[in-house]
Amino acid sequence: MGILSYIKEEIKIIKERDPAIKTSAEVLLYPSFKAIIRYRIAHYLYVKKHYFLARWYSQRTVRKTGIEIHPGAKIGKGLFIDHGHGVVIGETAEIGDNVTLYQGVTLGGTGKEQGKRHPTVGNNVMISAGAKILGSFTIGENSKIGAGSVVLSEVPPNSTVVGVPGRVVKRDNKKVPREELDQVHLPDPVQNELTSLKKENVCLKEELKSLQERMKALEKNIK
């Protein structure tokens, strides 16, 4: 695919997924648009083993957009980065088609691995603001990662993950994140646990009260 085809595709993607866009010309101002187009050029240089030029061009992009995509990363079609400041995508990261990333997302390594050390993100995944995906494992297709989550292990397809560390709180979610870009209405496992503990506490109090009443009745009978 030539650079003009990439430009047309990126304009289409951003207009499709950002309701703030009113005209195609506005897309040219978006950091996401600039970062992804420039990544394609840097990646081409990287594949041709022009490593210094690839990194030089990539670092210029970081200064201009606040989005850091290593030229060695492998990115499919339809990547959308909303706002994007603080997004970091590591060298061995692999991203499938129609993935959406929000500001502050990191696809990083743990600092201990050699070779493949960054995540693989499947098709149609949405990663919400501030989420950190750290390590060489796969985020299954059609999954959602909640805002601020820290994911350190494999995520099955069609899953919703929230929390620190990230936990799968929903599976077989058939809604495709590309079409359902909702970062807010996700399950809250901590709140669910607190609600469960409150219910158990009420039950225990009722049982204790019942036992106390029975003890008093027994004491009266003994007297």
Q: Determine whether 28 is exposed, middle or buried from the number of CB atoms within 10 Å of its CB (0-12, 13-18, 19+).
A: middle
Give the span between the Cα atoms of 78 and 123, in whole angstroms. Answer: 10
58 and 166, same structural domain? yes
Two tokens, residue 202: 């009420």
- pLDDT tops 70 at residue 133: yes
92 and 194, same structural domain? no
- pLDDT tops 80 at residue 111: no
Query: What is the total count of domains within the chain?
Result: 2
129 and 24, same structural domain? yes
176 and 66, same structural domain? yes
Taking only the tens place, the pLDDT of each residue in 135-145 is: 999 999 999 99
* Mean per-residue pLDDT of the chain: 85
Torsion sign, CA atoms 29, 32, 36, 41:
positive
165 and 212, same structural domain? no
The reported pLDDT for the residue numbered 180 is 54
Q: What are phi and psi of 122, to 5 degrees?
A: -75, 180
40 and 20, same structural domain? yes
150 and 75, same structural domain? yes
What CATH number does residue 126 fall under?
A: 2.160.10.10
Cis-peptide, bond into residue 177, ω within 30° of zero: no
176 and 166, same structural domain? yes
Give the span between the Cα atoms of 11 and 186, in whole angstroms. Answer: 29
pTM of the model: 0.73
200 and 105, same structural domain? no
- Does residue 142 come out as left (phi exceeding 0), alpha (psi in the -120 to 50 range) or beta? left
Residue pair 110/127 in contact (Cβ under 8 Å)? The answer is: no
193 and 180, same structural domain? no
217 and 150, same structural domain? no
Greater model confidence, 176 or 194: 194
The reported pLDDT for the residue numbered 176 is 46
Residue pair 74/96 in contact (Cβ under 8 Å)? The answer is: no
60 and 16, same structural domain? yes
Instruction: Quote the domain boundaries for residue 110.
Output: 3-187
The reported pLDDT for the residue numbered 169 is 81
Confidence of residue 185 (pLDDT cuts 50, 70, 90): low
Taking only the tens place, the pLDDT of each residue in 42-99 is: 999 999 999 999 999 999 999 999 999 999 999 998 899 988 899 999 999 999 999 9
